Amino acid sequence: MPKARVLIRPKEGILDPQGKAVERALPALGFEGIEHVRVGRMVELEADDPEQLGELCEKLLANPLIEDYEIQPL
């Protein structure tokens, strides 16, 4: 069955407190010069009909009001 990966991210401009928290932790670990950290979600799946993935993302995997998604066939 064809495999795919779906990447889901907070939309541009929406405050991502998780990303901020990660970013703030970095200097304490000695990592400098890293900014604009954003935390999203990855879903891996197998689909008979990859054509339906767009609708699946719109209806369930992502909330299009607050998240962008990207479907990557594997």
Question: Residues interacting with another protein, by CB under 8 A?
Answer: 14-15, 17-18, 21, 60-61, 63, 65-66
CB of 66 to another protein, least distance (A): 5
CB of 71 to another protein, least distance (A): 16
Residues written for the chain = 74
The C-alpha atoms of residue 17 and residue 36 are separated, in whole angstroms, by 11
Q: Which residues contact 12 (CB under 8 A, 6 or more apart)?
A: 68
When the beta carbons of 29 and 65 are compared against another protein, the nearer one is 65
CB of 55 to another protein, least distance (A): 14
Q: Which tokens is 25 given? A: 């932790």
